[in-house]
Amino acid sequence: MPGSSDPGFDTLALHAGAAPDPATGARAVPIHLSTSFVFESSEHAASLFNMERAGHVYSRISNPTNAVLEERIAALEGGIGAIATASGQAALHLAIATLAGAGSHVVASTALYGGSHNLLHYTLSRFGIETTFVKPRDLDAWRAAIRPNTRLLFGETLGNPGLDVLDIPKVSAIAHDAGVPLLVDSTFTTPWLMKPFDLGADLVFHSATKFLSGHGTIVGGVLVDGGAFDWSASGRFAELTQPYGGFHGMVFAEESTTGPFLLRARREGLRDFGGCMSPHTAWLILQGVETLPLRMERHVANTRKVVQFLAGHAMVDGVAYPELESHPDHTLAKRLLPRGCGAVFSFDIKGSRTQGKAFIEALKIFSHLANVGDCRSLVIHPASTTHFRMDDAALRSAGIGPGTIRLSIGLEDAADLIDDLGRALKAAQKS
């Protein structure tokens, strides 16, 4: 396939990592639902276990179907490789657990998915990993929060819930000045909208549950390494630069100049924590990835129409979408996200929680559930669901109003979505 230039994104989305199956001629990627893989001999087994040969041993560590997904996402991101995980949360945990241990420190954006915040603030602190949270736009705060034991800076390409655009070039420069990598959650943007490695990020993860799979059918994650961060030069990562007793004294940074992080993540984190992906899930995500360019284009086109409708509606107090001039990151978004700012955003209905609930209940096409990135349009009212225990003051500090509604725009006819929203807004007005 290679000629004198790299294939385009759409071609890689269909072909990277996969070729017709040499055993059967199958053109589509086969689902290798096999726990283990037969050794040719005892000597072959030993050399696979000792990383003298490449190959598959046991599907918790690697699997041929998963490998296609991993290599395809790596190609789309412009990275060196990837690891498929049981969920986006498992991918985040794998990244942190590979680089940090008790006594380590992480600097993270405040604008995070609630699950990521829980992991950092509550769960990892129980294991001795401390996190300092900083406002994503406050570059001085990122810099000031870095300590000698900091192992990672972490943010979302589009932060939750206000779609704060992470200034990856500047935050990554701050990280690199300190010898620390930048990890980004690129779930909302996918590589079709943004390639974080080109902007300076070092590690990327996705909840593949969302746009990558795109059909609301699976739970999965992918962790990708850009291969540019120099773990040896940093001096902070003995896990990668010193012998590892858990793998015959292997020094990962000697084994692979660009890929020691992925080697350790697979041979320690995936092996020992076991957060692996089912090959069936990998296959379903691959079906989604093959149409990712087509879907993302439509997701964004529909979102723009819906945003325009809502921004001009009398019952709407404000729409948080970076393509609007009113958004604080409008200029940055034009630079970093020229193809669009995704298909998940929030807006505020004028009124109370009652109006918010009435709006949700009047919708017919939008599905009321806790997910985003489906081909179907989705809606949730945080004040009455995910954040219902908070009073209004606590909601405001989280950037959520009593009438805040989060939408994930799907692939339906945009006119039908707008009709549905218009009808529900009328219902909210009357409630």
Partner 1 sequence: MNLQLDGHDAYAYTGGKPFDATLPGVVFVHGALHDHSVWILQSRYLAHHGRAVLAVDLPGHGRSGGTPLGVEAAGRWVASLVEASGLRHAALVGHSMGSLIALEAAARLGARADALVMVGTAYPMRVSAKLLELCQRDAPAAIDLVNVLSNSTYAAKPSHPGPGFSIHGSNRALMRRMQRGYGAGNLFLADFTACDAYGGLDAAAAQVRCPVTLVLGARDQMTSPQAVAPIITALKPRVVTLPVGHNLMAEAPDGVLSAIQEVVGTVAAR
Compare residues 134 and 277 and give the one whose CB is closer to partner 1.
277
Q: Is the peptide bond before 279 cis (omega within 30 degrees of 0)?
A: no
Please give the Cα distance from 375 to 379 (Å, whole number): 13
Compare residues 263 and 349 and give the one whose CB is closer to partner 1.
263
> CB 272 → partner 1: shortest distance, Å?
17
CB atoms within 10 A of CB 74: 25
Instruction: Point out which residues bind partner 1 (CB under 8 A).
Output: 1-7, 12, 15-19, 43, 46-47, 50-56, 62-64, 66-68, 70-71, 74-75, 78-84, 226-228, 230, 248-251, 254-259, 262-263, 266
109: helix, coil or strand? strand
Compare residues 71 and 419 and give the one whose CB is closer to partner 1.
71
> CB 255 → partner 1: shortest distance, Å?
6
DSSP 246: G
Compare residues 255 and 412 and give the one whose CB is closer to partner 1.
255
User: Residue 4 is encoded by which pair of tokens?
Assistant: 């004198």
Burial label for 256, CB within 10 Å (0-12, 13-18, 19+), is: middle
Biggest distance spanned by C-alpha atoms of the chain: 76
Look up residue 414 and give its amino acid: A
CB atoms within 10 A of CB 312: 9
> CB 68 → partner 1: shortest distance, Å?
8
> CB 347 → partner 1: shortest distance, Å?
39
Angle of helix 414-430 relative to helix 292-311, nearest 10 degrees? 40
> CB 154 → partner 1: shortest distance, Å?
22
Compare residues 257 and 331 and give the one whose CB is closer to partner 1.
257
Compare residues 197 and 345 and give the one whose CB is closer to partner 1.
197
Compare residues 32 and 151 and give the one whose CB is closer to partner 1.
32
Please give the Cα distance from 341 to 330 (Å, whole number): 10
> CB 292 → partner 1: shortest distance, Å?
16
> CB 210 → partner 1: shortest distance, Å?
21
Mention every residue, 6+ apart, whose C-beta is less than 8 A from residue 383: 353, 356, 390, 395, 400, 401, 402, 403, 404
Compare residues 81 and 373 and give the one whose CB is closer to partner 1.
81
Distance of CA 363 to the CA centre of its chain: 28
Compare residues 258 and 386 and give the one whose CB is closer to partner 1.
258
Q: Is the peptide bond before 181 cis (omega within 30 degrees of 0)?
A: no
Please give the Cα distance from 81 to 228 (Å, whole number): 12
Please give the Cα distance from 393 to 9 (Å, whole number): 45
> CB 266 → partner 1: shortest distance, Å?
7
C-alpha radius of gyration, the chain, whole number: 22
> CB 243 → partner 1: shortest distance, Å?
10
> CB 429 → partner 1: shortest distance, Å?
53
> CB 314 → partner 1: shortest distance, Å?
50
Please give the Cα distance from 17 to 29 (Å, whole number): 10
CB atoms within 10 A of CB 233: 11
Nearest-10 Cα torsion for 145, 394, 188, 200: -10
CB 270 within 8 A of CB 260: no
Compare residues 49 and 431 and give the one whose CB is closer to partner 1.
49
Mention every residue, 6+ apart, whose C-beta is less than 8 A from residue 16: 7, 71, 72, 74, 75, 76
Compare residues 278 and 302 and give the one whose CB is closer to partner 1.
278
